[in-house]
Structure 1
């Protein structure tokens, strides 16, 4: 793979974007508008061809999507959206009567939408006028807009049609996307035809091919870099200024998915968490990767600071000595299966995990990410800024007290009661230890200077219409 990144072409012609394609065959399908899932290639394409009521801008902040404006009333208990003038890709106008049933399907627990468990406070979605929609909540949710900006909440009708900001003008592969002119920004006498530089050629490919394409000067952007692909950058010569690392908020660590044998006892689970030298583990994969020893990154919407594990004040030798003593006291061999994704970064991570387990007397076994396991890696960017997302995501499974506290936070009728319940749940999960936090998610991209609007952000999300200039 050794090569040198050549000189970039000037700012002319379509922007070429490589998106890292999932290695999971079940995440792939044929043409048309893709369903929502966790595959970067498909999420990027979905976000380009369809939009929700709101979207993320280049900085990961909320901007208008299908709704041109909105108001929040009743302290976050009701959101009223006015739809902008928009058309489906067949030219027919978009109305509130069409959008409301689509939104109802998206928030339904039966939809398969991964965000649906965090939208249960939605009580009603109603048509107020042909262009106005109200979303009524049974409990206040000030962060609702961040959930509605996710690609999973894009408005797609039953004919798999969206409203842009792009449309496919050449199916490919790879497809060529062209911006849909925004009537709000186009004067009647102006030429609404987008310039060639506003087109995007979207290529879904393996991480290695995407990196080689960028290093060879044949693409302007690589999206979807994660920890397992980071070491591939060592094999090519890429200007360090091209490597963009997002300050992603979320969870990266090991979920304790089987609570039997040695892992039955919370004290054993805590000892296992304490045994890891997080700084050394992460440095073996990527430089300056931020470690984490607690579940919550900040107070967020809890009314108490994040819980700190009891072992945090001990040094590494003391922590590992305690873990070895608990393994020895178990009185029988301990073997743990570790489920990780494929890739060189995951290989390096497993080397560190395996060495730690062997050092405290546990025999490790690596298995595929979707195989039966005792510990399974969770690597997820938070879709919105609520402590409840962190707690619920880590609680898979966890003890009855922790589950009850999380449910109480979900059902809390006021923000004050919610904050108190979240603090209680954080304490319960800290005691239960269903999850071993290791770091914050590592998300990276490769960019060229022509993408003047590209910005790293905590959502680790980069819309195609916010790369080089404001197109709509």
Structure 2
């Protein structure tokens, strides 16, 4: 039986004034679904889990408080072989059992993480040689040797890539790319305390007695609360009983803005687009022309302005404008409505339009399409007034087309189940990445990942990944245009996240990766 997160938050917050100054960092994450799966007996949403993982992860590359890449276990690195190989030199560091870290530890750990039964998707997205084959293989350690990671010497690790990609460094900073050994030995600066079943607070304590720029708080407590409890969380922040309140996404922004001082609120744009996934397998939205008409009729400018923050900007494609890298967008291909999901004929898009700037939508121009009778579309969203407000504004835009938008509020597990069964028309999708990887954002619409299938877009995405970095942006924009010719997704605006940060803290810097290593958060004045 799960306990409510809120009483525990209030209890812990009430003790905040008794603790030594700067010894404990209290963080509240808003957006916990009532049915979020317990991990290790503990309840936490995706962002809370990531924050805890960042404290216990030991990666070759890390991010600083501004989200910039810095050395972690690696002291230096360089790309060679025209960018298809990355060489890293390890720091002289020891595991908790006093054994030195060697390159073979990194190779063995990565091979385990890349192989079934739970291969880390980051290896494939990073473009490591053999990653996809290893993830699909059932040959255990023998198959894992195909992975493009080697140990030329005891202090040097080499990664081999299918194609040049400077984004490999960003992927190596992800918690899923942590270097681990089997059993108890660790390199982590923080240790996770034994969980309490049903508890919605994760407690982590610094392993070393002395603080450092990479491990400032002696203890970090991460509380997960539901979006419906946001007002209580904001009140606790306002009363100085918690240090940081951060949203999983958009939910809670209205309460944070109303219930706090303006200077405490930060809203940061992320590498992603807030929009609605389309059920293209069954129901009214099998009709590609209807999908395109609905997307084209939305007043995205007005919708984005309603949030009154420059962090939220209108977006007309799967990729946020910032990740298109200056590439021109091609016009959508004509649609073969007899093909599955309305795929573009022959997998080809129309010739590129010289007048289509990057920031504009790759969608078709507005269409007039009024069904003979009202069409009811069921939209799945997570709890949060903000999601309902978005739906209300779009419903007004769709009314002239004879569309009635029916809102259904569900938790994450229920939404996942309904999507798998195809029991929906539209579903909230506001996923973002810490890595500025446009290909990874498009990857979620590959034929192998969802009911939607656009073979032409898949082929274009695979081809784009093999190009040199200076050619990749244009090719990815073409893959995006092929997807939007028979859209699997209705884009609305930039994905964003809000946070309330105590003025007594330093080290929390807004950045598009949305990464804020809690170990680097300090209290008072920063060290000189």
TM-score after normalising by structure 2 = 0.73
Q: Quote the residue 2:458 is aligned against.
A: 403
Check conservation: 2:434, 2:514, Cα contact below 8 A.
no
How is 1:51-450 mapped onto 2 (pairs within 5 angstroms)?
51-108=58-115, 111-123=118-130, 124-159=148-183, 162-168=186-192, 174=201, 176-181=203-208, 193-194=210-211, 198-206=217-225, 207=227, 208=230, 209-233=232-256, 236=259, 238-284=260-306, 287-288=309-310, 289-298=312-321, 300=323, 304-306=327-329, 325-328=368-371, 331=372, 333-367=374-408, 368=410, 369-370=415-416, 371=418, 372-393=423-444, 397-410=452-465, 412=466, 414-415=468-469, 418-450=472-504
Unaligned runs of 5+ in 2: 1-5, 7-12, 131-147, 333-352, 358-362
Check conservation: 2:217, 2:521, Cα contact below 8 A.
no
Offset of 1:11 from its aligned partner? 5.1
Work out which of the residue numbers 25, 49, 61 in structure 2 matches 1:15.
25
Check conservation: 1:231, 1:345, Cα contact below 8 A.
yes
Which digits, 9 at most, give the CA deviation of each residue in 1:74-121, with x for residues without a partner?
232111222223344455443322221221233347534343441344
Q: Distance in 1 between matches of 2:492 and 2:69?
A: 29
Give the alignment's Cα RMSD to 1 decimal: 3.7
Offset of 1:59 from its aligned partner? 1.1
Residue 308 to residue 386, structure 1, CA distance change in 2 (3 Å): farther
Offset of 1:379 from its aligned partner? 0.7
Offset of 1:20 from its aligned partner? 3.4
| Moved beyond 6 Å, runs of 4+ | 169-173
State the aligned residue count. 443
Q: Distance in 2 between matches of 1:15 and 1:344?
A: 28
DSSP-derived class of the 2:82 partner: coil
Check conservation: 2:270, 2:513, Cα contact below 8 A.
yes
Offset of 1:144 from its aligned partner? 0.7
DSSP-derived class of the 2:458 partner: helix
Offset of 1:271 from its aligned partner? 0.8
Check conservation: 1:282, 1:349, Cα contact below 8 A.
no
1:27 paired with 2:2, answer: no
Residue 398 to residue 303, structure 1, CA distance change in 2 (3 Å): farther
Residue 447 to residue 269, structure 1, CA distance change in 2 (3 Å): same
Which digits, 9 at most, give the CA deviation of each residue in 1:375-418, with x for residues without a partner?
222112233223322332356524222222112223x2544564
DSSP-derived class of the 1:441 partner: strand
Residue 26 to residue 160, structure 1, CA distance change in 2 (3 Å): farther
Offset of 1:215 from its aligned partner? 1.8
Greater Cα shift, 284-293 or 136-145: 284-293
Q: Distance in 1 between matches of 2:149 and 2:510?
A: 33
Which digits, 9 at most, give the CA deviation of each residue in 1:216-242, with x for residues without a partner?
211212234421221222552x11111
Q: Distance in 2 between matches of 1:388 and 1:381?
A: 12
Which digits, 9 at most, give the CA deviation of each residue in 1:28-76, with x for residues without a partner?
22369x9xx9711111111101221111111111111222222211232
Q: Quote the residue 1:184 is aligned against.
A: none
Check conservation: 2:40, 2:195, Cα contact below 8 A.
no
